[in-house]
Copies of this chain bind each other. A is one copy, B any other.
Amino acid sequence: MREEFRSDLREVGHLLVSMAETSRSQMRQATYALLTADKESAEAVIANDEAINGLFKEVEERVHRLLAQQQPVARDLRAVITALHISTDIERMGDLAEHVAKTALRRHPASAVPAELATVFADMAEAADRIAGKITLVLAERDAKRAAELEHDDDAMDELERHLFEIILGPDWSYGVESAIDGALLGRFYERFADHAVNAGRHVIFLVTGEN
């Protein structure tokens, strides 16, 4: 029974890693679509969101089965419930990548990102990619120390968002209201993507150390 529990839980862990990897590659491709106004990439991201949702459902079903069949307690129970929380965060990261792709698609064949914002969005995308890469590792290795670094990485993302707003609200902004709103919402999508990774990291820290 104990062995079976371990094995089932490991399987759930693998699913979470797959979800994190997929959300990372989705955000990468969404950024590519955004920065190059590439329609096919944007459509691919939107179509592929179902893959993350499918993994999410699989986590849920396995967790249900695991709870019902093995009735874990204490630390084991915490691990199972934590997996459920983490999957909710990563599913949402996938949604945010889809939002970026949808914004790119809505402006196609024009670019949703004026030249003046290309650098800051490339930087935000890089920060998002680093963060998504880290949460993938954290999940694969249950690495609480690395999970704690995510807070710092998220500070960098917040700093980039502030910089984005400085540009949009600065005296040289000449792209009008619609581009300003696109920019602000896009900034929020990247920033929320990072927040959810941090949140997932906090769950891992709680799981490993028992402390919030």
Q: Pick the contact of A178 from B60, B64, B67, B169 — CB < 8 Å?
A: B169
Nearest CB of B to A95, in Å: 10
Contact bitstring A52-88, B, C-beta under 8 A = 1, else 0:
0000000010011001100101100110010011001
Q: Is the interface of A mostly helix, strand, loop or mixed?
A: helix
**Residue A198 lies at the interface, judged by CB distance under 8 Å to chain B:** no
Contact bitstring A172-194, B, C-beta under 8 A = 1, else 0:
01000110110011001000000
**Residue A168 lies at the interface, judged by CB distance under 8 Å to chain B:** yes
Q: How many copies of this chain does one complex carry?
A: 2
Q: Pick the contact of A81 from B84, B169, B177, B178 — CB < 8 Å?
A: B84
Tally chain A residues at the interface, Cβ within 8 Å: 25
Q: Pick the contact of A177 from B85, B180, B188 — CB < 8 Å?
A: B180
Nearest CB of B to A69, in Å: 8
Chain B residue contacts of A85, Cβ below 8 A: 88
Q: Pick the contact of A74 from B68, B81, B169 — CB < 8 Å?
A: B68
Chain B residue contacts of A77, Cβ below 8 A: 64, 67-68
CA distance A169 to B185 in the complex (A): 15
- List 24 contacting pairs A-B, 8 Å CB cutoff, sorted by A: A60-B81, A64-B77, A64-B78, A64-B81, A67-B77, A67-B81, A68-B73, A68-B74, A68-B77, A71-B73, A81-B84, A84-B84, A85-B88, A88-B88, A165-B181, A169-B177, A173-B177, A177-B180, A180-B181, A181-B181, A184-B184, A184-B185, A185-B188, A188-B188
